[in-house]
């Protein structure tokens, strides 16, 4: 299947311009971030940060400084509260398993929303095999948590709660302060974890204003290198390691630290928050132009998630009726536009996105969805090019599917 798609693209591609909008699944790393990383492979601080020689001390100091840079943008004052992991999946696993293992005698209920990412959903599913009860809070048609239903789910046995500030698929910005207060008002001992992977660098958040115990941060979703992420762990919180091995500077994650990737993550954080308001306004203009251009000019389309300021500034998720999402990603690739269908975790499985079904989309509506994300590096010319080639791609596929049904 993969090889046949490659051959199709090679044979039929007609690319005037390339526009990469698949930031959900991977991202290009800007040259200024790459240049920041390069010296740490062979010229600077390439030693093991646990060793007491010059290059080891340099690596240790680099990691501490990087942790400070990553954490300061969400109000973290101590770099020791930032724990680097190989990515957001590992950070979410560490948060959930680490807390639930350490507090398994305090209660065995976990509360999450119906639209959490699969690296939360599947870990919770695994814990059900060990006697934990997982309660999923329903959401409304725009993906907002139903607070009254949340109140029904949380009780004295709730040991852990996990919610994303921004949903990775439909961009819903949750009222996380209200969600946090609701949980803590019912059970002050419940450990609260917020996944900031799709919010960091786009939606402001401060752990002093919303005093969560745990928070996940992603590197590649702010255009940093892949293979690195971070988990904020509030000082004094009891949490167990989920892997064992050589313990370095990261007490909750064993192994030799990936100093170049950590440096790249810190640089990406710095750039994401530089000229923050201007960058966010720029992304909002691109987002709204793309959404409006699609909805107003292509029939039978549905916006998935809310509009305006209740939506992340980078997120566009549209369902194209009478059109299959995977086929549309291929069709757009032939024109140099790169998007994804549904979430990355389900794209090779013939199942609709659990997020889209949770907000009430039918099977065929979910399967016709396309996810796009813009960045501060995209231009309005990029968006206009997408709006130029997208209607042609949709119409072509609808004609094919229409003829097949005749």
What is the set of active-site residues?
A: 345
How many Å is the maximal CA-CA distance in the chain? 74
Question: Cβ contacts of residue 42 below 8 Å, gap of 6+?
Answer: none
CA gyration radius for the chain? Answer: 22
Q: Cite the DSSP H helix spans in 318-371.
A: 325-333, 354-358, 363-367
CA gap 201, 210 in Å, rounded: 17
Identify which of 164, 160, 169 has the alpha carbon closest to the alpha carbon of residue 191.
160
Contact 146, 138 (CB under 8 A): yes
Q: Return the DSSP state at 25.
A: T
- What letter does residue 166 receive in the DSSP assignment? B
Which residues have C-beta within 8 Å of that of residue 192, sequence separation ≥ 6?
Answer: 161, 162, 163, 180, 183, 184, 212, 213, 214
State the angle between helix axes of 118-128 and 88-102 in degrees (0 to 180), rounded to the nearest 10: 30
How is the beta sheet containing 369-373 ordered, strand by strand? 301-303, 315-320, 369-373
Q: Which residue has the tokens 């199942």?
A: 351
Taking alpha carbons only, the member of 390, 342, 338 closest to residue 364 is 342
d(CA 22, CA 24): 5
């Amino acid at each position: 299947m993969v090889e046949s798609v490659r051959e199709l693209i090679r044979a039929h591609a007609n690319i005037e311009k390339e526009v990469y909008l698949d930031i959900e699944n991977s991202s290009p790393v800007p040259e200024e971030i790459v240049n920041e990383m390069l010296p740490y492979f062979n010229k600077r601080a390439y030693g093991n940060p646990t060793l007491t020689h010059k290059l080891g001390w340099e690596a240790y100091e680099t990691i501490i400084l990087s942790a400070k840079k990553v954490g300061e943008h969400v109000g973290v004052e101590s770099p020791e509260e930032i724990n680097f992991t190989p990515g957001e999946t590992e950070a979410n696993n560490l948060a959930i398993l680490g807390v639930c293992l350490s507090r398994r005698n305090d209660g065995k209920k976990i509360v999450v929303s119906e639209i959490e990412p699969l690296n939360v959903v599947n870990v919770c599913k695994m814990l059900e095999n060990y006697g934990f009860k997982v309660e999923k809070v329903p959401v409304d048609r725009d993906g907002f948590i139903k607070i009254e239903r949340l109140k029904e789910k949380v009780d004295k046995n709730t040991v852990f709660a996990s919610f994303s500030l921004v949903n990775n698929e439909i961009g819903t910005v949750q009222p996380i302060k209200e969600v946090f207060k609701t949980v803590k008002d019912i059970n002050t001992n419940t450990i609260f974890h917020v996944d900031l992977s799709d919010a960091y660098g786009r939606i402001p958040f401060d752990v002093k204003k919303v005093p969560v115990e745990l928070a996940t941060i992603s590197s590649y979703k702010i255009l940093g290198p892949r293979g690195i992420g971070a988990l904020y762990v509030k000082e004094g919180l009891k949490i167990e390691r989920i892997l064992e091995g050589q313990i370095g500077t990261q007490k909750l994650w064993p192994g030799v630290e990936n100093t170049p990737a950590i440096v790249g993550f810190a640089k990406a954080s710095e750039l994401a928050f530089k000229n923050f308001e201007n960058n966010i306004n720029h992304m909002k203009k691109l987002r709204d132009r793309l959404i409006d251009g699609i909805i107003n000019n292509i029939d039978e389309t549905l916006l998935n998630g809310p509009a305006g300021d209740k939506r992340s500034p980078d997120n566009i998720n549209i369902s194209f009726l009478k059109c299959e999402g995977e086929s549309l990603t291929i069709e757009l690739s032939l024109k140099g536009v790169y998007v994804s269908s549904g979430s990355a975790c389900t794209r090779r499985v013939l199942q609709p996105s659990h997020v889209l079904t949770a907000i009430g989309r039918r099977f065929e509506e979910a399967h016709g969805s396309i996810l796009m994300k813009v960045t501060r590096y995209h231009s309005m010319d990029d968006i206009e090019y997408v709006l130029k080639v997208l209607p042609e791609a949709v119409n072509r596929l609808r004609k094919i599917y229409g003829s097949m049904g005749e």
